[in-house]
Structures are given as C-alpha cells and as structure tokens.
Structure 1
Amino acid sequence: MSDEEFLRKEIDSVEQQAAKRIDPGTGALTISIAVLALLVSLVLPWIGDATGLGVLLGESQGVLPRLFAFLALGVGVLGSGITLAVRRWGLAWVCALGLFAASVVGVLSIWTQQTTTSNKVVGPGPGLGLTIAVIAVVVLLVKWVKIAASRPPQL
C-alpha cells in the first residue's frame, strides 16, 4: 500500500467519524439551563402539595404526571447529559424524539389537572413546578431537533 492510499484511507475514516458527531455550539448552554430548570422544578409543587419528586416516587395518583416525570428525568436530564458528553448524532435524535413524547405527555398532564369528571369536584390544578417542567421540556425539544436536523446530508 502506497503512502497516498494509506493517507486517503485515514482521511476517509476521520471524515466518517466526524459525520457521526454533533457540535451543539451555543445551544449547549441553553440545554444546560433547561436541564437545570427541570431539576429545580422537581422540588416545586406539581399536583396540589405533591412535589415533582413526590410525583416521581408515586405520592400522587396521576398516571400522566408520573409518566411525564419519568420521561423528563430520563430523556430530559440523563439523555441530554449523555448526548452532550458523547456528542453523537444518533443520540441527538433519540433525545429529540423522547422529548417530543415527553412534551405531549406533559401538556396532557397539565390538561388532566385542569379538568375533572364532575363539575362539583375541583381538581388540585397544575402546580408551578409542573408548568416549569413542561416549558423546559419544550425548550429542550426545540434545541435537540435543531441540533439533530443540522447534520449535512451524506454524499
């Protein structure tokens, strides 16, 4: 193998490795702030007096808020952290799709706390923590979709 062939193979392998990576740029700061907002929202009330941690641990009876808490913590916090650390394009898409599901469940969680099956019973309503968590998840969703979609097409 000549030096030119060896150099060409090395350049091609570096190019393939670079194509699998993302560069979040200044979006990493926005993602970090949104993750921090998610973590802070866990100590604020979500449903009545139940905090986000309480909802996560099953103190509340709402199924959708608990599912949202798992998705927000799993994909929003852990997924975002891992993806920022390894900077893989595929993980950026996993975060984007997971956060889409989390945002839908989050909006439904707020909606279910505002509606009841009887006009006589008033629900506890969504707390400040749940609202902040849903907004943070939507911000994360927008940032991860922008980052994941920014990959140039392969030639």
Structure 2
Amino acid sequence: MSTPDNGNFDQFKEEIEAAERRIAGEIDPGPRALVIAVGVFVLLVSFLLPHTGGANGWDVLANSEDATGAAVSLPSRLFIWLALVFTVGFSMLALLTRRWALAWVALAGSSVTCVLGLLAVWSRQTAAEPYPGPGIGLILAWLTVIVVTYHWARAVWARTAVQLAAEEARRREAAERQQKGLLERFDDDPDDPDKPGR
C-alpha cells in the first residue's frame, strides 16, 4: 500500500473517530423524552398551586409576603429553586441539545431535589400549630420530580451501557490491529533466525 493511500486512510479513520466521539456525547431518550417534557410542564403548573397555606410555588421562589406569613422553611425554598434549575432548566436543555453531559447534570440535580422534596414535605407536616401543612402544589411537585428523575436515570444509564460497549469494541479493535502489526513486522524481519524456512 502506498503512502498517499495510508494518509487518506488515516484521515478517514480520524473522521470516523471524531464522529464516534460526537455521537458518544449525545443521548436518544426515545419515548422517555415525552414523559420528561410532560413532567416538566406538570412541575411548572404545580408552581401555580398552593405550596403551603396561601403561598404557591412562585411565592416561595420570590419569597413573597404569603411565603413569609406561612413560615416557609429553608428545605422548601431549596426544593423549589433546585426543581426550577435542574428538573426544569437542565431537563429542557438536555432534551433540546441531546447532550449526555447535560442529561447527567439534570439527573444529579433532580436526585438531590427529590431528597429536598421529602424534607420540604416533612418540614411542612411537622410545622407548629398555627402554620399550614403541605399543599397540593408541593406534593405534586415532589412526585413529579421523582418521576422525571427516574426517567432521566433510565435514559442516562442506558446511554452509559452503550458507551461502555462502544469503548470496549474500540479497545478490542486497537489491540487486534496492534497484534496484527507486530505479527507482520515479525514476518518481514529478514534477520530473524527463528523464522520458518531458515
């Protein structure tokens, strides 16, 4: 094989590897994308519903007088903010761009948000007597974050398995090429006394 052909093949090989790397950084959530998108919409609607007493989710976000009057605690505030940033924001970014890294951020942030949602509901249930308990908006938001997190986990881990399989196949191919190259060099060595026929 001539040198120009090798150069063309190397350039072609580099383009293939670049395409593989680009594809490895993308996800295809399939039908889960619709479930996640509906979950994001339901979560935004839950912000309009009562979070606790007369304060809805947007009141908690803005720290309005209604939220202050209902003595909304830190777990509730953190839950609403993280739900907005990770479960809504990063989920939409990941769905629009199909980037695997953004899906991971959405999954990690939503997982933390699930725990904070539990703390938020618990803190409203254990609030002192004059203060109201958890509202339908808080409970719906928490359950929605759990559903979205579950579907992101399925999408991300499925992609992780595909990436690991592709990486293993690439390693195996590289090892085979290296072994084949060593065998060809061994066969072409004219000074080798162990070569058959000498």
Q: Show structure 1 runs of 4+ deviating over 3 A.
A: none
Matches within 5 A, 1:6-155: 6-59=11-64, 60=67, 61=71, 62-116=73-127, 121=129, 123-151=131-159, 152=162, 153=164, 154-155=167-168
TM-score (norm 2): 0.73
Q: Answer 1 or 2: which has greater helix percent.
A: 2
- Larger of the two Rg values belongs to structure: 2
1:4 Cα offset (Å): 1.9
TM-score (norm 1): 0.93
**Unpaired stretches in structure 2, ≥5 consecutive residues:** 169-198
Bigger relative contact order, structure 1 or 2 (CA pairs below 8 A, ≥6 apart): 1
Taking only aligned residues, the RMSD between alpha carbons, in angstroms, comes to 1.3
Residue 183 of structure 2 is matched in structure 1 by: none
Number of residues paired by the alignment? 152
Contact 2:127 2:133 in 1 (8 A): no
**Unpaired stretches in structure 1, ≥5 consecutive residues:** none
Amino acid paired to 2:140: I
Output the CA distance in 1 between the equivalents of 2:107 and 2:89.
Answer: 13
Q: Percent identity?
A: 38
1:124 Cα offset (Å): 0.6
1:122 Cα offset (Å): 5.0
